[in-house]
Amino acid sequence: MRKIAVYVNFMNERYRRQLEEAASRLGFSLDCYDCPRDSGALAEKIGDYEVVYGHPEAALLKEATRLRWLCSDFAGVEGYLPSEVWPRPDCLLSNSSGAYGPAISEHIVMVLLMLLRRMPEYQAALARGQWPCYTPIRSVTGSHVVLLGTGDIGSHAARRLKALGARVTGVCRGGRSAEPAFDQVLPVSRLENALPQADALVLALPATAETRGILSRERLALLPPTAYVVNVGRGSAIDQDALVEALQGGRLAGAALDVMTPEPLPADHPLRTCPNTILTPHVSGNMALGLTCDLDVELFLRELERYARGEPLANLVDRTRGY
Amino acid sequence: MRKIAVYVNFMNERYRRQLEEAASRLGFSLDCYDCPRDSGALAEKIGDYEVVYGHPEAALLKEATRLRWLCSDFAGVEGYLPSEVWPRPDCLLSNSSGAYGPAISEHIVMVLLMLLRRMPEYQAALARGQWPCYTPIRSVTGSHVVLLGTGDIGSHAARRLKALGARVTGVCRGGRSAEPAFDQVLPVSRLENALPQADALVLALPATAETRGILSRERLALLPPTAYVVNVGRGSAIDQDALVEALQGGRLAGAALDVMTPEPLPADHPLRTCPNTILTPHVSGNMALGLTCDLDVELFLRELERYARGEPLANLVDRTRGY
């Protein structure tokens, strides 16, 4: 019988029933492994599975001799891009782009408001027993937010920021988006034109060869000193040393980083003490939000229907492009 | 000549020109005092003014023998409600309801997201050098927010929360609102029905005899232990001792208080160490946001036109009702 392994960290009875019902209807048997507790059990049986849904260690894939399709429950899949990790070159890789939009876009709205309203300063002063009033603070209404990355996360963020009164510029490879919440969408080649006009730059990009260091020292210097930087994609997108220097030197107003290099960030890393900097430990889109898990399972079930019918996967990753 | 005194803390050249132009066109002369720096100068001349725009000490009003109208630049005017502070019983009092909606509603969105996404826990753990992942977190999308107070601030908050996917119940004296963002509006007599269903209760109320202690110990106990309390109105609306006990005992999920009793809060006050509690020093709607100042001056100018034509003021405060 054709076999599916599920290896995620958010299983519950409802998801298990949904997954088993669909698998059985489509002619598969399905085994659930708890991530990371059952990593050993999965490793023993990995050779049995045609389909894996979840995020097994990349090093395990070589043993997955029957594998035809890995559906990652994450949106970022950089660990699975090298051709050496796969048992055969024709294995399909798909991601869960579409599950993270609500969770991560709410994080973006939250940290942007915290930066504009100077919460890092208020919280630090209150912790010292003070009772301060800082002026000025700023509003999302009327702010110009540049979203680098116009995929699922960027589009969800654009809708929410637009509803709150921001002007939203999207920047992406193709310079086009079907999402109407963007006031304008520019190709990456015009990023330099957008940066000097930004009140905030939000990076929502996958980790690919093209996005590595995309916010370079030179581009950081094009942002006005009143601008904030928010990163919810991957730490590799930013020249982090240049960011630290800009924050320390007051050449940027602040930053909110959910991703950084390395993770976890060492206790003595200079980012930890940069002024007006909000750090979160890579949790903006993790599986702590029930809605994200619901969407993730739904996405896999829709892909499984397509796979069983021999149709193309909607979230197929181009392993050379990286997303 | 009829005279206007302006006594605010956010004057700039643009506002001064707008105010002087309007005053002169309508037959007034206008003097600007910086608040609080020029309090002595204002006190010396207070007897000259027919109109005051700003927030003079209530104790000064007795000397304002020519005063016909005080337009407070604040939305909350509880200091001016006692009849004893006025030189004559027929003096008009108006407030600046309408200026604070954008600023305070953005504060509400920010702290609600911070609570739902467990930012107090993340920030405390990161400050201790940890790298935690808390589960579950919650989303504004699908949350049920009960807004106690459906005035300018409540309506602005309802629009933003609705746009972010929340279900929004308004509660007010009349049980009606013209704001379409409310999914339903209930009279205060049905507050008890709404509380057990709330994911968050937001208080945006003026300080009046009716709102004093409106969130009583008994009503607090009706909120589920998963609920958050947000207060942006006045501290007097909440039985604060009962709130502290509920937070300490885990009978509430958390709170965000921009107002409290007393202000400033003493360094050893138990609110400062309550779990999952975000304190801000009465800044959600202060004059640190340029948009708030713009709206405040605009509101006064529109009221001044009405006053000069002998028309009723739009923001006239009923001093017995308190708003």
Secondary structure percentages of chain A, helix, strand, coil, to 5: 35, 20, 45
State how far Cα A283 lies from the chain centre: 10
On whether both A269 and A148 belong to a single domain, the answer is yes
Identify whether B316 is part of a domain. no
Q: Across the A/B interface, how many CB contacts are shorter than 8 Å?
A: 124
On whether both B115 and B75 belong to a single domain, the answer is no
Structural domain total, chain A: 2
On whether both B14 and B95 belong to a single domain, the answer is yes
| pLDDT grade for A320, boundaries at 50, 70 and 90 | confident
pLDDT for B250 equals 98
What are the C-alpha distances in Å from B140 to residues B108, B110, B117, B122, B313? 12, 11, 9, 18, 38
Interface pTM, i.e. ipTM: 0.95
On whether both A239 and A295 belong to a single domain, the answer is no
Q: Over its length of 323 residues, how does chain B's per-residue pLDDT go in tens digits? A: 899 999 999 999 999 999 999 999 999 999 999 999 999 999 999 999 999 999 999 999 999 999 999 999 999 999 999 999 999 999 999 999 999 999 999 999 999 999 999 999 999 999 999 999 998 999 999 999 999 999 999 999 999 999 999 999 999 999 999 999 999 999 999 999 999 999 999 999 999 999 999 999 999 999 999 999 999 999 999 999 999 999 999 999 999 999 999 999 999 999 999 999 999 999 999 899 999 999 999 999 999 999 999 999 999 999 988 88
Which of A100, A110, A226 to substitute to test the interface with B, most B CBs within 10 Å?
A110
Indicate if B106 belongs to the active site: no
Indicate if B107 belongs to the active site: no
What residues make up the domain containing B106?
101-279
Nearest one of A201, A180, A177 to A191, comparing CA atoms: A201
Contact of B19 with chain A, judged by CB distance below 8 Å, is answered with: no
pLDDT for A279 equals 98
On whether both A144 and A183 belong to a single domain, the answer is yes
On whether both B17 and B86 belong to a single domain, the answer is yes
Phi, psi of A239 (to 5 degrees): -70, 95
Identify whether A176 is part of a domain. yes
pTM comes to 0.95
Residues 67-126 of A with CB under 8 A from B: 102-103, 106-107, 109-110, 113-114, 116-117, 119, 122-123, 126
> Are the beta carbons of B106 and A123 separated by less than 8 Å?
no
Nearest one of B121, B147, B114 to B232, comparing CA atoms: B147
Q: Give the whole-angstrom CA distance, residue B230 versus residue B226.
A: 13
Which of A110, A126, A163 is opposite residue B114, by nearest beta carbon?
Answer: A110
pLDDT for B303 equals 98
Identify whether B143 is part of a domain. yes
Contact of B264 with chain A, judged by CB distance below 8 Å, is answered with: yes
Task: Kindly state the average pLDDT of the residues A51-57.
Answer: 98
Identify whether A275 is part of a domain. yes
Identify whether B315 is part of a domain. no
Residue A138: its chain B contacts at CB < 8 A? 289-290
Identify whether A316 is part of a domain. no
On whether both B202 and B294 belong to a single domain, the answer is no
Nearest one of A132, A74, A73, A136 to A300, comparing CA atoms: A73
Q: Give the whole-angstrom CA distance, residue A43 versus residue A88.
A: 18
B277, B271 Cβ separation under 8 angstroms: yes
> Are the beta carbons of A281 and B140 separated by less than 8 Å?
no
pLDDT tens-digit map of B74-97: 999 999 999 999 999 999 999 999
On whether both A123 and A180 belong to a single domain, the answer is yes
| Element spanning A299, H or E | helix A290-308
B140, B166 Cβ separation under 8 angstroms: yes
On whether both A105 and A197 belong to a single domain, the answer is yes
pLDDT for A323 equals 86
Which of B123, B165, B288 is opposite residue A136, by nearest beta carbon?
Answer: B288
pLDDT tens-digit map of A81-93: 999 999 999 999 9
Phi, psi of A7 (to 5 degrees): -135, 80
Identify whether B152 is part of a domain. yes
Q: Give the whole-angstrom CA distance, residue B241 versus residue A87.
A: 64
What CATH number should be reported for the domain holding residue B189? 3.40.50.720
Q: Give the whole-angstrom CA distance, residue A198 versus residue A26.
A: 50
Task: Kindly state the average pLDDT of the residues A57-78.
Answer: 96
In the three-class reduction of DSSP (H, G, I as helix; E, B as strand; rest coil), residue B100 is classed as: coil
CA distance A290 to chain B (A): 7
pLDDT for B321 equals 87
On whether both A184 and A268 belong to a single domain, the answer is yes
Nearest one of B290, B297, B247 to B103, comparing CA atoms: B290
On whether both B270 and B186 belong to a single domain, the answer is yes
Helical residues (DSSP H) of chain B, grouped into ranges: 13-25, 39-45, 101-116, 119-127, 152-163, 191-194, 217-222, 240-248, 290-308
A241, A250 Cβ separation under 8 angstroms: no
On whether both B153 and B95 belong to a single domain, the answer is no
Residue B131: its chain A contacts at CB < 8 A? 263-265, 281
Identify whether A26 is part of a domain. yes
